[in-house]
């Protein structure tokens, strides 16, 4: 049953049954309630996690208390492996956004796997590189764009990753319990500013929001806002 999940993890795609079985035997499955922490920044980084079901947000703690949300992870993605050699502590905090199930493997065991299957190491390298490029484009965007643009961009990214089409409404539904504070932490802003932007977007019929969901009604207009304010 866990084998099926592992086979769907991009990082392990294309591995033989035998290899997957070997990895599977070294992993433990765990479950978390909403708000539970998989690990906290500063904890010894002894494990690598793979999201099996649910969503996990990773938080970058800041001195001022203005934590940033680095990423929201979907099933199949891994986290906690991003520790620098010689600094064996987590740099971020990982928290379950909803009821979540995850698999866990010891970092030493994972390192063995990487040495045994170099192609996985290369794929991991690609994955981290992709994260790096994302982080870097984020950085340059924060410097130049307005809050409205950043919120729009973030919503589009979320829609691309978690969006569900069709159903009753005709928009793209993002079913995540994201508070204004969460969106603020994702865009490098404040809850108040995000609220203003969202109110405006709702008034213009671009999005609609509810308790634990957000829906994008006018994808084109949102893209236009993300690209250049009017």
Partner DNA sequence: CGTCACGTTGACGGGAGTCAAAAGTTGTGG
Partner DNA sequence: CCACAACTTTTGACTCCCGTCAACGTGACG
Nearest approach in angstroms of CB 103 to DNA is 28
Using the contact rule CB under 8 A, the part of the chain among 19-27, 61-69, 172-180, 201-209 near its own copies is 61-69
Of the chain, the end-to-end C-alpha distance in Å amounts to 51
Nearest approach in angstroms of CB 193 to DNA is 3
Residue 131: φ, ψ to 5°: -60, -40
Under the binding rule (CB under 7 A), the answer on residue 154 touching DNA is no
Candidates 8, 129, 164, 223; binder of its own copies (CB under 8 A) is 129
At how many degrees (to 10) do helices 147-162 and 180-187 cross? 110
Under the binding rule (CB under 8 A), the answer on residue 125 touching its own copies is yes
Characterize the bridge pairing of strands 27-32 and 78-79: unpaired
Nearest approach in angstroms of CB 119 to DNA is 43
Partner from its own copies, DNA, none contacting 181, C-beta within 5 to 8 A by type: DNA
Nearest approach in angstroms of CB 146 to DNA is 3
Nearest approach in angstroms of CB 213 to its own copies is 26
Partner from DNA, its own copies, none contacting 209, C-beta within 5 to 8 A by type: DNA
Spacing of C-alpha 15 from chain mean position: 24
Please give the C-alpha separations between residue 24 and each of 1, 7, 21, 90, 166, in angstroms, as whole numbers: 10, 10, 5, 23, 36
Spacing of C-alpha 31 from chain mean position: 18
- Say if residues 74 and 58 touch (Cβ distance below 8 Å): no
Catalog residues that contact its own copies under the rule CB under 8 A.
Answer: 60, 62-64, 66-68, 70, 82-85, 91, 111, 114-115, 118-119, 121-126, 128-133, 135-144, 188-189, 227
């Amino acid at each position: 049953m866990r084998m099926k999940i592992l086979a769907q993890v991009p990082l392990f795609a294309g591995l033989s049954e035998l290899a997957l079985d070997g990895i599977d035997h070294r992993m433990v499955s765990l479950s978390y309630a909403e708000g539970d922490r998989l690990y906290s920044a500063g904890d010894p980084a002894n494990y690598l996690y793979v999201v099996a079901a649910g969503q996990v947000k990773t938080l970058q703690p800041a001195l001022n208390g203005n934590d940033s949300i680095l990423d929201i992870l979907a099933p199949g993605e891994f986290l906690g492996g991003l520790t620098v050699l010689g600094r064996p502590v987590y740099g971020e905090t990982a928290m379950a956004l909803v009821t979540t199930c995850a698999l866990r493997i010891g970092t030493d065991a994972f390192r063995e796997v990487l040495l045994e299957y170099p192609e996985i190491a290369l794929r991991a390298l690609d994955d981290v590189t992709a994260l790096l490029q994302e982080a870097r484009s984020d950085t340059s965007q924060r410097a130049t764009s307005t809050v409205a643009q950043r919120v729009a961009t973030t919503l589009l990214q979320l829609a691309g990753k978690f969006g569900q089409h069709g159903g009753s409404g005709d928009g793209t539904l993002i079913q995540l319990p994201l508070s204004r504070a969460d969106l603020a932490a994702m865009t490098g802003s404040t809850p108040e500013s995000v609220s203003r932007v969202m109110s405006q977007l709702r008034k213009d019929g671009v999005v609609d929001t509810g308790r634990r969901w957000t829906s994008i009604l006018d994808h084109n207009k949102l893209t236009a806002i993300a690209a250049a304010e009017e």
